[in-house]
């Protein structure tokens, strides 16, 4: 009886400890990390998309209207658009075009006379150029660049301020439940062919914040490995339990056999002694 309750206790403790060690199917607590990526077509792509967008702009002259750039066939699936604004209006009112919300006063001062904002959506090419080890992109990569186009022959990037970050909107992601699972990722060109990825927590569904030019997307950790790990834990746990039960069963059986054997032997001894005492010869001799 004592050993039984002890076994129960041990099993219970093991069970709870195993459960508590497997239960962290927890959200990722990464605030901001950087890693180098496997980017096959880096900076040059952005540059050529930007050039194509600027070419569109020279043919169209409406300030404040968003124009879609015409891309060569071998880039179909990518969307690039461009808007031209006065530096003053960008400074005073910000800009809300495409999926990017640039708040007022988020570009560095003094604002340029004329600015253009290039937006790009890499669409089905996103996975082709960007991979984050251990993660999966769940949206296409969106990018933007704010350019000083006051001088057509000397187009420059305008730097942004950290204080009023730009919002990049991923409209398909509106479910609050996924906030614990997904993260924002930003890709910044560093060298010729190396890019750095900054990973940060998503706070509002479908909104990522950026304080620099670059490409943005949303990632989630690859589930397979985690599931496998949990599965293997479970398997080990079950194997262990089965082993435990079998072990107890076998020891009880052996104990039972030993007990039965010793009882039988004792019986035999008694029988033998009985036989000894009942010896017809001796009886004969006596009589």
Give the interface with ligand NAG as residue ranges (CB under 6 A).
Answer: 31, 38, 40, 72, 74-77, 124-125, 128, 201
Q: Nearest 5°: phi and psi at 258? A: -60, -45
Residue 134 C-beta: closest distance to ligand NAG, Å: 12
Closest separation in Å from C-beta 75 to ligand NAG: 6
Distance CA 239, CA 246 (A): 10
- The DSSP-derived string for 218-277 is EEEE-HHHHHHHHHHHHHHHHHHHHHHHHHHHHHHHHHHHHHHHHHHHHHHHHHHHHHHH
Q: Residue 45 CB, nearest distance to ligand NAG (Å)? A: 7
Task: Give the β-pairing of 135-137 and 166-169.
Answer: unpaired
CB of 30 to ligand NAG, least distance (A): 9
Nearer to ligand NAG among residue 203 and residue 258 (C-beta): 203
Tally the residues of the chain: 287
Name the token pair of 280.
């017809």
Q: Which is nearer to ligand NAG, 82 or 199 (CB)?
A: 199
Residue 77 Cβ vs ligand NAG, minimum distance, rounded to whole Å: 3
Q: Smaller CB distance to ligand NAG: residue 17 or 127?
A: 127
Min dist CB 168 to ligand NAG, Å, is 18
The Cα-based distances of 51 to 46, 94, 144 in angstroms read 9, 23, 13
Measured over all CA atoms, what is the biggest interatomic distance in the chain, rounded to whole angstroms? 143
| CB nearer ligand NAG, residue 156 or residue 191 | 191
Between residues 125 and 170, which has the closer beta carbon with respect to ligand NAG?
A: 125
Nearest residue by C-beta to ligand NAG? Answer: 77
DSSP state of 160: B
Helix (H, G, I), strand (E, B) or coil at 113: coil
Looking at the Cβ atoms of 38 and 152, the one nearer to ligand NAG is: 38
Query: Is the bond preceding residue 110 a cis peptide, omega within 30 degrees?
Result: yes
| 3-class DSSP state of 6 | helix
Nearer to ligand NAG, 102 or 202 (CB): 202
Minimum distance, C-beta of residue 21 to ligand NAG, in the bound complex (Å):
23
């Amino acid at each position: 009886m004592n050993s039984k309750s002890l076994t129960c206790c041990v099993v219970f403790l093991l069970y709870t400890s195993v459960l508590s060690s497997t239960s962290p199917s927890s959200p990722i607590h990464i605030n901001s990390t950087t890693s180098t990526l496997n980017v096959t077509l880096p900076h040059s792509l952005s540059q050529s998309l930007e050039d194509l967008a600027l070419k569109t702009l020279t043919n169209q002259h409406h300030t404040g209207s968003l124009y879609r750039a015409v891309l060569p066939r071998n880039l179909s699936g990518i969307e690039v658009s461009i808007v031209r604004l006065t530096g003053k209006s960008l400074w005073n009112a910000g800009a809300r075009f495409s999926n990017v919300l640039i708040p007022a006063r988020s570009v560095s001062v003094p604002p340029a006379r004329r600015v253009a904002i290039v937006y790009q959506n890499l669409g089905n090419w996103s996975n082709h150029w960007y991979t984050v080890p251990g993660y999966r992109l769940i949206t296409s990569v969106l990018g933007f660049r704010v350019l000083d186009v006051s001088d057509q022959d000397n187009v420059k990037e305008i730097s942004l301020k950290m204080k009023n970050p730009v919002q990049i909107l991923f409209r398909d992601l509106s479910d609050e439940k996924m906030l614990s699972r997904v993260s924002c990722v930003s890709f910044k060109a560093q060298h010729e062919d190396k890019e750095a990825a900054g990973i940060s927590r998503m706070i509002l569904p479908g909104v990522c914040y950026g304080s620099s030019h670059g490409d943005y997307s949303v990632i989630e950790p690859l589930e397979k490995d985690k599931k496998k790990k949990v599965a293997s834990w479970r398997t080990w746990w079950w194997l262990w339990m089965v082993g435990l039960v079998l072990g107890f069963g076998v020891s009880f059986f052996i104990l039972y056999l030993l007990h039965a054997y010793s009882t039988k032997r004792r019986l035999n001894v008694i029988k033998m002694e009985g036989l000894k005492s009942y010896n017809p010869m001796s009886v004969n001799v006596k009589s």
